[in-house]
A and B are shown apart, each in its own frame.
Chain A
Amino acid sequence: MSKKKVIVACGGAVATSTVAANAVVQLCKENGIDVEIAQCRISEIASNLPADLIVPTSRVKRDYGVPLITGMPFVSGVGVEKTKEKILKVLKDD
C-alpha cells in the first residue's frame, strides 16, 4: 500500500489539530498504514494539497475534492470508534 497523506487542520494549528493528528498517527500505526501528516490552519489546507484525506476539527465550507472526516470526536470523545472506522475506510481503499 502506498504512503497516504492526511491533512489535519484547525483554527490555529495549536490545540485541537495536534490532538487529532496524534490520534490519526496512532490509528495508522495500529493498522499498518504508512502515513504522512500535514498539520495546518484551515486557511492553509489548499496549499497542503494534494492529500488522500482531510481531518478538520473546525468547520470547513469549501469542497477540496478530497474526502473530509471531522476530527472532532478525538477532542470530545464522542463517536471516536465510528470516526476511526471512517478514516480507515478511506485510507485502506486501494
Chain B
Amino acid sequence: MIWEKLDEQRIYLGLKADNTDEIFEKMGRPLIEQGFAKENYVEGLIEREKEFCTGLATPIGVAIPHTAADYVNKTTFSIAVLDHPVEFTEMGTDDDKVNVEVVIMLTIAEAHGHIDMLQRVIAIIQDPELVKNIKNAKDEKTVIELIKEKENTL
C-alpha cells in the first residue's frame, strides 16, 4: 500500500511556486533532509525535467517529476497541490505546455523496480475524480485517506 509511504511531512497543500525549479526545491530539499535523497537531488530533478519533461495532459494537470536512481537513497513519493497552476512541458512533446495543479514527485531508488508503487500512482493519476478530491483536500490527512480508499479498490 503506497499510502503508508505518504507521511504528512511529504504532502504540501497550497504550495506556492512560480516555476518548476521552485517546486523541485520545495519538494526535493526536504527529501534530502529526511535522508531519502542525495545532496544533489534537486539539481538532478531540474536537469532531468529540461530534457525529459513530466507534465501530463490529464483533466486536472498532473506532473510526475523524478530523476535517475543515482540521486536517491530510499524509494518514496510526495504530493503537492499547487497554490496556483504552474506551466510544465507535456511529457513526450517538444514544447506543448500543460498547466499543472497537482505534483506527484517520484523518488525511486532503483531502475526497473517498484512497479507496484508506480502502478498505484498511475491509478491515482488516471482517476480524474480522485485528483480533483486531492486538489480540494482540506488537510494532509484527507489526502492520505483518499489514497487509502482508492487503494482498497485496486
Interface residue tally of chain A, by bracket? 20 to 34
Give the distance to chain A from B16, nearest Cβ to Cβ, in Å: 26
Q: Does B57 contact A (CB under 8 A)?
A: yes
Restricting to A1-39, which residues have a CB under 8 Å from any CB of B?
10-16, 18-19, 22, 39
Per CB-CB distance, the 8 closest pairs between chain A and chain B, nearest first, are A11-B52, A77-B126, A72-B92, A12-B68, A76-B56, A58-B52, A13-B111, A14-B108
List 8 extra interface pairs beyond A15-B118, A59-B92, CB under 8 A: A10-B52, A14-B106, A57-B92, A58-B52, A75-B56, A76-B56, A76-B91, A77-B58
B109 to chain A, nearest CB (A): 9
Cβ–Cβ contact B112 & A13, under 8 A: yes
A10, A11, A13, A57 — which one has the most chain B CB atoms within 10 A of its CB? A11
A91 → B minimal CB distance (Å): 21
Quote the shortest CB–CB distance from B51 to chain A (angstroms).
6
Chain B residues whose C-beta falls within 8 Å of the C-beta of A78 in the assembled complex: 57-58
What are 17 A-B interface contacts by the 8 Å CB criterion? A12-B67, A14-B68, A15-B64, A15-B108, A19-B118, A19-B119, A39-B112, A42-B52, A58-B52, A58-B92, A59-B94, A70-B92, A74-B122, A75-B91, A76-B58, A77-B122, A78-B57
Chain A nearest CB from B150 CB (Å) reads 14
Question: Considering only CB atoms, which chain A residue lies closest to B64 in the complex?
Answer: A15
Contact between A18 and B52, CB atoms less than 8 A apart: no
Task: Indicate if B125 sits at the interface (CB-CB under 8 A).
Answer: yes
Residues of B contacting A75 in the complex (Cβ-Cβ under 8 angstroms)? 56, 64, 91, 122, 125
A56 interface neighbour in B69, B92, B122, Cβ under 8 Å: B92
- B10 CB, min distance to chain A CBs, angstroms: 17
Mask for B26-41, Cβ within 8 A of A = 1, else 0?
A: 0000000000000000
CB atoms of A14 and B122 under 8 A apart:
no
Q: Across the two chains, which residue of chain B brings its CB closest to A61? A: B94
Which residues in B have some Cβ–Cβ distance to A below 8 Å?
48, 51-52, 56-58, 64, 66-69, 91-94, 106, 108, 111-115, 118-119, 122, 125-126
CA distance A53 to B115 in the complex (A): 22
CA distance A14 to B117 in the complex (A): 12
Contacts of A10 in B (CB 8 A): 52
For the complex, what is the distance from the CA of A69 to the CA of B68, rounded to whole Å? 24
- Least distance between B79 CB and chain A CB atoms (Å): 15
